[in-house]
Amino acid sequence: MANVRHILGISGGKDSAALAIYLKQQYPHLKIDYYNSDTGCELAETEVLIDRLSAYLGNITRLRAAEGSPEPSPFEHFLKAMGGFLPSPQQRWCTQKMKLAEFERYVGDDYAVSYVGIRGDEDRDGYISSKPNIQAVFPFRKNIWSIDVINKVLNNDNLKQLEEYYEELCQDIRKDEIMEIVRKPITKQFYYSKKLNALLDFDVKLFNHVVFRYLKTTDYPVGKLTEEEFPLLDNEDVLVKEDIFRLLRESGVGVPAYYEDIPFEVDGKVGTYCRSRSGCFFCFYQQRIEWVWLLEQHPDLYEKAKSFEKDGYTWIQGETLEELAKPERVRKIKLDIIKRQEEARKTQQGTTLVDIFGDDIMCTNCFI
């Protein structure tokens, strides 16, 4: 059998940290290479979490781009190379140069299964590497497989193959019922996700073993493993946000401090702020209230981020950090979030920034 590495990227956020803890607890025999992309621009709270995780897991390899550069951080090295052009949602050169390139160099040509912490209550897929030797799997979800694998397994061209696998592996008394679903081709009315959910609802373990059997006929890394080497085939756990925080607290690693709500008062009204995600202190995906949090909780880092805004380049479209820091602007931003939190309470929804802004956008490094 080919040598296949098991790898997990520690972003410094709650989900990847909880996934590392979960896999260590559930599969202590699984040898996983943990890594972190060190941008040199992380919050101190993130570094504390990574240190605690390193003590819990045993070791985390720190990947750092632009080693040997005279610049203070990898980001400043590449910012200079980009002529001061700041990254943005449309031009995420920071992710590509500081994270993805280093990750792919770290893996090299080895076959690798990359474990990704996308939760069961999130409706999104993660980053899929363009390198064929790297395969992403998602242990927290009901469907642990990436969309490219699902599209191939359920493709009508493989219908006969799928039927043969289910005929061989299914021992359920409802076999006729599941075979009816298996034999049904993909159409505009019976699309991929509909067939996928029907098969998963019938039997998650059975579906995983069928996919595994298919992968054995391909060059995917998981297909080069034995069933003993990939125990997730029999895992039916689905973990959501509450499970993530519970895992972090019960393990003793703890929740990253930047997730903790900090109260503030404006015009007699009380609100709270924190940070909704991990990442560099200047992350352009931050909401304005998170910039206010940085301004008041880490004023030195706010000034550092502000110093990068030159020649018309800004972190926030249409607004500079100097403009955002003006007292009246800060007051308005805080009142806006207080209003949203009050509306959330009325509908019995969560009021933290993590609840309000969700996890729809995160750094690609979390998905590898």
Question: Which percentage of the chain shows pLDDT scores above 90?
Answer: 87
For the segment 260-275, what is each residue's pLDDT rounded down to a tens digit? 999 999 999 999 999 9
200 and 317, same domain (yes or no): no
271 and 315, same domain (yes or no): yes
Domain encompassing residue 86: 4-145+222-252
Asked if the model's pLDDT at residue 54 lies above 50, the reply is yes
208 and 351, same domain (yes or no): no
272 and 230, same domain (yes or no): no
207 and 275, same domain (yes or no): no
275 vs 281: CA distance, rounded Å: 10
For the segment 155-172, what is each residue's pLDDT rounded down to a tens digit? 999 999 999 999 999 999
Asked if the model's pLDDT at residue 363 lies above 60, the reply is no
Q: Token pair of 69, please?
A: 């550069």
232 and 210, same domain (yes or no): no
Determine the pLDDT at residue 366: 44
For the segment 168-179, what is each residue's pLDDT rounded down to a tens digit? 999 999 999 999
Residue 2 — pLDDT band, cuts 50, 70, 90?
confident
154 and 273, same domain (yes or no): no
Name the residue among 52, 48, 53 with its Cα closest to residue 21: 53
87 and 112, same domain (yes or no): yes
CB atoms under 10 Å from CB of 128, counted, come to: 17
Mean pLDDT on 196-210: 98
Asked if the model's pLDDT at residue 126 lies above 80, the reply is no
Name the residue among 84, 85, 94, 118 with its Cα closest to residue 281: 94
137 and 233, same domain (yes or no): yes
Count how many domains the chain has.
3
Please say which residue of 210, 234, 252 terminates a domain.
Answer: 252
Asked if the model's pLDDT at residue 368 lies above 70, the reply is no
CATH of the domain at 20: 3.40.50.620
63 DSSP assignment: E
Please say which residue of 221, 244, 273 terminates a domain.
Answer: 221
Asked if the model's pLDDT at residue 135 lies above 80, the reply is yes
101 and 240, same domain (yes or no): yes
35 and 139, same domain (yes or no): yes
294 and 355, same domain (yes or no): yes
Burial class (CB in 10 A: 0-12, 13-18, 19+), 306: middle
Determine the pLDDT at residue 359: 58
Q: Which residue has the tokens 């509908």?
A: 347
